[in-house]
Structure 1
């Protein structure tokens, strides 16, 4: 996503938030586990527009956990609309999207925002840009499926997610066991 006012895109995890403080962040999308406290790092940031979403990084129902749902991705898209409405203000912006580790929910949200802001951009290019922003990206497949539907991408985001997973497994073979251990084996199978 690079509307006229947003010149910088960043994805990170909670532990990296203090490092972003000096980078003139103007817009923040925080995706946190429901029970996680609000990160204190934001107290040191300059004034910014921030939206907080709370759900777990899972792809299958687990008792006591909040599965990503279409309304969460709709909230990401509303955030994107709010950012786009600020285009005409002239100031250069820096969009920061974070989750716990900066690997799954945040990368799915950033891909959703980029697809929303660039409806004519190919899915392949969007995933390439995502990997440039966050090389360790492993977007939450459930969130991408909802985004694909909500943005009327006709399954192309999900198809390119498969390619992305395949590429990531070649680059970082340890992801295969890690994702299986996290209950995300279905995503590993998507790469096959």
Structure 2
């Protein structure tokens, strides 16, 4: 996604989508649970390009749920390539990535897109920019591991994710219990 003309990057949850309709969104990546209905908010948006991916926000197998897989991250990267080629992106585009809460899947996807767009940028710098865009970011570790591999970052994205988790636990201590409750203790342990 070699497109420096995307001027605005936004991450949000479903409940925040109505607040974004006046912000001239040109490209949307929606990451939804498989059984979640399409958000009605998009009916009020100006014309935009939208891609929808459907999988659960989990990091280990759970019966009846769909894990993020490499093909989901590859779809995120194809979306990034499409954005880079689009005329709207060359005319000051606005990229919106959302999931249910705007905390995990969407932040992992945005980090993946930023790493794709800026292959020369350090991993820690990418995570710092992610936290500026979405202060509550807690990227899905499984998605980041796939992005790390696909983008040939040689473990550096995963290492930077550990440091990001550590900073987030210092900033938002309640995340420790929340991640344990969500079955994501392994991510908390990554921060240690």
With normalisation by structure 1, the TM-score equals 0.98
Moved more, 1-10 or 161-170: 1-10
- Return the offset for 1:2: 7.8
Q: 2:142 aligned with 1:142, yes or no? A: yes
Specify every segment of 5 or more residues in structure 1 that has no aligned partner in the other structure, as ranges.
Answer: none
Question: In structure 2, the residue corresponding to 1:130 is in which secondary structure?
Answer: helix
**What residue is the counterpart of 2:180 in the other structure?**
180
CA RMSD in angstroms, aligned pairs only: 1.3
**Residues 90 and 72 of structure 1, relative CA distance in 2, 3 Å threshold:** closer
- Per the alignment, residue 78 of structure 1 pairs with 78
Partner Cα distance (2:90, 2:146) in 1:
32
**Stretches of structure 2 lacking an aligned partner (at least 5 in a row):** none
State yes or no: 1:131 paired with 2:97.
no
Q: Measure how far apart 1:10 and its partner are.
A: 0.1
Give per-residue Cα distances to partners, 1:156-178, cap 9 Å, x unaligned. 00000000000000001000000
1:33–1:54 CA contact under 8 A, matched in 2: yes
* Alignment deviations for residues 137-172 of structure 1 (CA, whole Å, 9 cap, x no partner): 000000000000000000000000000000000001
Matches within 5 A, 1:62-77: 62-77=62-77
Secondary structure at 2:91's aligned position in 1? coil
Kindly tell me the number of residue pairs found equivalent between the two proteins: 192
1:107 is aligned to 2:73: no
Which residue is 1:155 aligned to?
155
Within 5 Å, which residues of 2 pair with 1:86-105? Answer: 86=86, 90-105=90-105
**Per-residue CA distance 1:106-159 (angstroms, 9 max, x = gap):** 000000000000000000100000000000000000000000000000000000
Q: TM-score, normalised by structure 2?
A: 0.98
Q: What whole-Å deviation, never above 9, does each CA across 1:36-66 have from its counterpart, x for those lacking one? A: 0000000000000000000000000000000
